[in-house]
Structure formats: structure tokens, C-alpha cells
Chain A
Amino acid sequence: MAGLVLKGIGKSFGPVEVLRGIDLDVADGEFVVFVGPSGCGKSTLLRVIAGLEEVTSGSIRIDGQDVTTERAAERGLAMVFQSYALYPHMSVYRNIAFALENMRLPREEIDARVRRAATMLRLTEYLDRKPGALSGGQRQRVAIGRAVVRDPKIFLFDEPLSNLDAELRVATRKELAGLHAEIGGTMIYVTHDQVEAMTLANRIVVLNKGRIEQVGTPLDLYNRPANLFVAGFIGSPRMNFIRGQVGPEGRLVTPDGKVNLPLPPGSAATGEVTIGIRPEHVAPCSPAEADARIAVELVEQLGSESYLYGTLADGTALTLRSPLEDPARRGEEMPVRFDPARLHLFDAAGLAIRP
């Protein structure tokens, strides 16, 4: 296994700049997840690392060695594709053994490695089947088996769970986490699903418009987002944002003056700011304790909890999570309180202001 260092990676397709100045260090054995909205460049970055795309600028080092100009095959990496990319005319055994045959390993070793991977991934009874005769989950495991058997320096996963149904996705996610714990390899994983990112990653790389917005542990990103984009992207439902000016009393006042909210404790911000608060950190309360009132527009009852969607007096949308089954009705006015310890503050440029 190996570490990875990206320095100033840029990638353009003609006039379109897809990646700009990407710098990243991935430690040996780390599970790093690239996450971001569609078109943010996360899959392109993975393909650049794999060697399937050439970089326009910058360098890639794997295990201390510069591989920027090396072909994909020479980098010693393995990739699990979104479509699985299994060879449809070959049996599961041949699919898994194919790369080892390319390496001209002895037949006995190939057989031993294939059977070991098959046992680990519960594929032994399917070794003679063609991919067309397997379920989505089984195909996914074959694709992983094909990567595992090569004992690569780094595993690359390109949205490997996106073709699975919700239940199978959860199960396969657990298996992937287990696999990482078992073989301990360096893994780079691309997804647009933040739950996958939060549950699998040692560190998450949030990408937007070809740039890295923030790199950190899942809880780092959740608790200390570096900017408005990360704050809005991580967490579901997304964080609430209320824009305004810091008033003379050190509180946020919305432009129309109808909403007046506290700033995070110890904050010395001035001028135009944005307050961020996650739905789980806003709670219904008595009128006396209220920071604000919302007009409830929609209630989503999920059984274990409910989400209330409403608007503040100035029209800003606000979502809150309630542990109650039936917390309010549409059209009701509800006093709410913001957890002051969980308030986030961002400046006019959208960057986080730390107390």
C-alpha cells in the first residue's frame, strides 16, 4: 500500500477547465472520499490519479515516486468502476484472474489469489457464472474482487454503489468499510452521496467547480465547515442560512429588520454576515425562550422524527428537526430557539468566522 501526493493538479478539456490547482496528501492506508455536486470534477480527479486522463498541469506522486506521465497500467492501482466494467463474455473466475494473467503469474498462484478473494467476498459459488447471471450486488463484489486480487498500491472507487438499490447500498457500504478494516489499503472513493462519504471516510475532500473547498474528517466538516458551500453541502437536510448585518447590540439583523438573532458566543464579527444553523440544532420552544418565530409551511413525518419547513418573518426559509411525531400543522406560527453553541458564522465572502 502507498500514499499519494497531488500537487497543483489542473485538467482542461479544450477551453473547459475541470480541475484547478488541486493539492492533496493521502496517507498510506487512509480511506479518502471525494464528494461534491455533479460536474465538480471528482470523477475526473479520480481518473487523473488512475492514469486514464492526462493532467494539464501539476504532478502526481505515489509512494514517493512521480507517476505523472506513467500509463495507468504502470501505476499499480486498481479501480472499481461505477458500471462495474466486468467483461461480459468471461466467467467471474476469468474476470478476477484476467489482470493476474496479464502479469504472467504462475497458474497456481493465480488460482490461489482468485479463490482467496472469492472467499473473502462470498463469491466462491458464482465463480463459473457470467456477470449477466449475477445480481447487482454480486457484480459489485466481483468488481471489488478484481481490484483486491491485484494487491494494488491504491484502490480507486468511482461511485461504486450508485447502481444499487437503497437496501443493498447500505449493506455494501458496510462490506466496504469491513474490507478496508481487513486489508487496510489506501482507498480513494468518489461519491455524491454524503452519507456514504460520512460513514466510510477517514477524511473527506469536498470539491466544487474543480477546486477543493475543504479537506477534513467527517465530523470536522460537519462541525467546522470552512465556508458556506461546505456548510450547505454536508448535512441533510442542508444547513439553514440567514443573511443580515451585525447590529449595534451585537446581534444579526436581517435587511428588513424583522428578524433579530444572536451571534455565536464570543463572536466579534461586524458588517454583513451569514448565520448558519443545522435543522437538528433548531428546536421548538416557549414564546419566552424564542429566538425567532416561523410560519410552518410543510411537515414531513418520518415516524422517528419530523421535519418542519417554514419561513422567518423576513421570508428566509428555515428547516428544523423535531423528535415529535406530530409537532405542528401547516400554517401554524411556531416559536423556535437556536442552539447558540451550534451557530456558524460566515463573512460576506462566505468564509467561516471562527470565534
Chain B
Amino acid sequence: MSANGSPPRAIPRDSFASRLIEAVAGLADRPMAWIQHAVGGRGMAYVFLAPNILFFGLFVFLPIGINMAMSLTGGTNLFLSERPFVGGDHYRALMQCGSYLDPASCREDHFWKGVSNTLKFTLFQMVAMVGTALVTALVLNRKIRGRGFFRAVYFFPVLLSPVVVALIWKWILQRDGLLNGAITLAGGEKILFFVEPGWAMFWAVFVSVWAHMGFYTLILLAGLQAIPADLYEAAEMDGTKPMRVLTRITLPLLWPNLVVVLVLVLIKAVQTFDEVFVLTGGGPGTATLMVVQYIYETAFANQVQNFGLAAAASMLLGSLLFALTMLQLWIARRKAA
């Protein structure tokens, strides 16, 4: 049915358009019949899947395979055939540490500093992201004036490129930026946000939350709106206090959405690179250096391009992300069941 309720108009028989469609479709008849004859009815499903699998294989599975091979070979040459096999040397190099709690004691101290920073970033970001997204969703779920406007406002940063987000905030936070301008106007002293390690990590987390919160708010808002209104009315009749409604009704019923958000935030945080890289460049020093930035620099930005070591680090990171993705799928399936 069309939008106005009337049935869609069929292409008139014997019109030029219908004859053209028939002629084009007819071209495929013979080859399709031949393929069907060759592979059988059941095999046709795989024939139709083949283009996608080919595309996926070429741009996803093949690079993973090449990366794995890279991680087991050494040298600076980009061509695998020219690279000597070194086995697990890169993995051993990455894992060689006096103490895993002290990155400075590790052979690849920047890798472990990246791991440590990524863990810190992930932890802070998860708490801040889920907390703010939840509060925002709870507020936006109420019947407030301009609800649609606020939803759009909170979602808007999601549409921006991470580089644009980082540049906007760099402009605000730099030494002579908007924020320091406001601080000096109010009689305060300029703060060097990108020079003090604590501030740099704080703003890395803040900017990330600002940029992505809208997306997670939307997921939580969808979950909140799926909770039937009469449960809240029943709770009201039962004399339930607002905080108890939140903890005993809203949060338990929102739990599946919350778990999905938690896992998604976790995966995104572990993958963080572009925003933080453009905002702080990993500095000051290595204060905001993330694992992905370490991989990028080891492979492409350092004077000696160590593809093998970078590939080994990305295999380790990939394994962690794979485990997290499986966790998310498992949770999503449990929710669907």
C-alpha cells in the first residue's frame, strides 16, 4: 500500500518499462539456469552469498591473515615474502616485563603505558558515559517541554567526525582557547590543559563522553520507553518512593539495554584512537597514549617501521575485542531469548 492508502500502481503490461524489465531479467535466465543445474537448488543460497563473502574475505579476513603473518615475521619490508619468520619473538617482546604493573620495567614500555592508559581511559569513560547517558535518558523520558529538541541536541555530536570533535575541543581547551579566555575573564589563571597529565586524561574522557553520549542515551531511552507505563502506575498505587521505583523497577527492567551499552562503550573505549590522538597527540609525554596509537606509531610513524611488533600488538588487542564482541553477542542473544 502506498502512503495515502491506495494500492501501489503496477507497471502497465506491455508498456515499454515492463518490456525493458522483462528483457533485462531475461538476460539472466540462461546463466542462472545453468548455475542452478551445476550447483543444485541448495547450492544456490551460497551462490547468492558468494559476492558478499568474497568482499568480506578480501577486506576483513585476508587483512587479519596478513596481520597474523606479519606478527610472526620480522624486518622492515612490507612484503611478506621478503620478511624472515621470527615465530613468537614479537609477542615475547611485548610481554617481556619486570612487573606488569610498572610499564617502565617492560621492554616495550610504550605498549604497556598504552595498555595502562587505555584501561584508565576505559574505566573512567565507562562510568562517566553510562552515568551521564542514563541520567540524560531518564530526564528525556519524562514529559518535559522541548523533549524532542533536547533529544536532537544530545544526539547531534554523534553525527560529527571524531576529528572535527577533537578539533572543536582543542580550540576550546588550548592555551589561548575559549575556556582559558573565560577563566581569565573571571579573574582566574590560565590552565595548561594539555600540559598537565591529569587534565589531559580528564579532557580526553570528557570529549569522548560529549561526542558519543547521545548514541547511548538513545539506546537507553528506547529501553525506558519499552517499560509499560502501567507498571509505574502500579508502583504509584503501591506507594513506592521515586528512588525505589528507580532501583527496583526501572533499572532491573532496563538492565538488558544497560548491559548492551556497557559492552559497546567498553569496546569503543578499548579501540579509542582518533579523538584522543587529534586532541592530545598522546601527550603530555605518554600521559594519554592509547594502545591503538602505539600500534599506529610503531608501524607507520616511527623512524624504524616495525610492522611485526605493531601486528603482534594489534593481534593481542584484536583478541581482546573479539572476546568482548562475543560477550556482547551472548548477552544480546540472551536478551532476545
Contact surface of A with B, Cβ cutoff 8 Å: 50-52, 71-74, 77-79, 81-83, 85-89, 98-99, 102-103, 146, 150
B238 within 8 A of A: yes
Contacts of B145 in A (CB 8 A): none
Residues on A with C-beta less than 8 A from B231 are: 85, 87
B252 contact set on A, CB distance < 8 A:
89
Q: Give the complex CA separation of A86 and B234 in angstroms.
A: 8
Residue positions of B touching A, CB distance < 8 A: 228, 230-231, 233-241, 244, 248-249, 252-253
A74, A78, A83, A146: which contacts B230 (Cβ < 8 A)? A83
- Verify B236–A85 contact, CB threshold 8 A: no
Majority-rule SS of B interface residues: helix
Q: Return the chain A residue nearest B239 by Cβ.
A: A73
**CA–CA, A83 and B230, complex, Å:** 8
Q: In whole angstroms, what is the CA distance A86 to B249 when docked?
A: 11
Q: Are B238 and A98 in contact (CB under 8 A)?
A: yes
Q: Contacts A83-B228, A89-B252, A89-B253 given: A99-B233 contact, CB under 8 Å?
A: no
- Contact (Cβ within 8 A) A79 B244: no
Q: Is the CB of B236 within 8 A of A52?
A: yes
**What is the bound-complex CA distance between A71 and B233, given in angstroms?**
11
Task: Report yes or no: B230 in contact with A50, Cβ–Cβ below 8 A.
Answer: no
Q: Beyond A50-B237, A71-B236, list 19 extra A-B contacts (CB 8 Å).
A: A51-B236, A52-B233, A72-B236, A73-B238, A73-B240, A74-B239, A77-B237, A79-B234, A79-B237, A85-B230, A85-B233, A89-B252, A89-B253, A98-B235, A98-B240, A98-B248, A99-B237, A99-B240, A146-B238
Assuming the contacts A85-B228, A89-B252, asked whether A102 and B239 have C-beta atoms less than 8 A apart, the reply is yes
Q: Which of A74, A81, A103 contacts B234 (CB 8 A)?
A: A81
**A295–B249 CA distance with the chains assembled, in angstroms:** 62
Report the nearest B residue to A50, measured CB to CB. Answer: B237
> B277 to chain A: closest CB distance in Å?
42
**Bound: A73/B248 CA distance, A:** 17
Which residue on chain A has the smallest CB distance to residue B229?
A: A85
29 contacts across the A-B interface (CB closer than 8 A): A50-B237, A52-B236, A71-B236, A72-B233, A73-B236, A73-B237, A73-B238, A73-B240, A77-B237, A79-B233, A79-B237, A81-B230, A81-B233, A81-B234, A85-B228, A85-B231, A85-B234, A86-B234, A87-B231, A87-B234, A88-B253, A98-B248, A102-B238, A102-B239, A102-B240, A102-B241, A102-B244, A146-B238, A150-B238
Query: Which residues from chain B contact A102 at a C-beta distance below 8 Å?
Result: 238-241, 244
Neighbouring B residues of A103 by C-beta, 8 Å: 239
The docked-state distance in angstroms from the alpha carbon of A260 to that of B249 is 66
Query: What separation, in Å, do the CA atoms of A87 and B235 have in the docked complex?
Result: 9
Rounded to whole angstroms, the CA-CA distance of A81 and B238 in the bound complex is: 13
Determine how close the nearest CB of chain A comes to the CB of B175; give it in whole angstroms.
52
Measured CB to CB, the nearest residue on chain A to B227 is A88
Q: Tell me the bound Cα distance from A51 to B236 in angstroms.
A: 9
A146 to B231, CA, bound (A): 13
List chain A residues, Cβ under 8 A from B236.
51-52, 71-73
Q: Which residues of A contact B235 (CB under 8 A)?
A: 98
Q: How far is the CA of A79 from the CA of B253 in the complex (A)?
A: 22
* A152, closest chain B residue (CB): B237
**Residue of B at shortest CB range from A52?**
B233
- How far is the CB of A21 from the nearest CB of chain B, in Å? 26
Q: How distant is the Cα of A73 from the Cα of B244 in the complex, in angstroms? A: 14
The 7 closest A-B pairs by CB, nearest first: A73-B239, A99-B238, A85-B234, A85-B230, A89-B252, A72-B236, A102-B239
A178 to chain B minimum Cβ distance, whole angstroms, is 24
Cβ contacts under 8 Å, B253 to chain A: 88-89
Closest Cβ–Cβ distance, residue B233 to chain A (whole Å): 5
* CB nearest to A99 among chain B residues: B238
Closest A residue, CB atoms, query B233: A52
Bound-complex Cα distance A51 to B244 (A): 20
CA distance A71 to B235 in the complex (A): 12
Other-chain residue from B233, B237, B239, B249 in contact with A87 (beta carbon distance below 8 A): B249
CB distance from B335 to the nearest CB of A (A): 13
Q: Which of A51, A73, A146 has the most CB of B within 10 A?
A: A73
Pair A72/B237 contact, Cβ less than 8 Å: yes
Please indicate the chain B residues that have their CB under 8 angstroms from the CB of A88 in the complex.
253
Query: How far, in angstroms, from A274 to B231 measured CA to CA in the complex?
Result: 48
List B contacts of A98 (CB < 8 A).
235, 238, 240, 248
What is the CB-to-nearest-CB distance from B64 to chain A, in angstroms, rounded to a whole number? 40
- Closest A residue to B232 using CB positions: A85
Q: Is the CB of A99 within 8 A of B230?
A: no
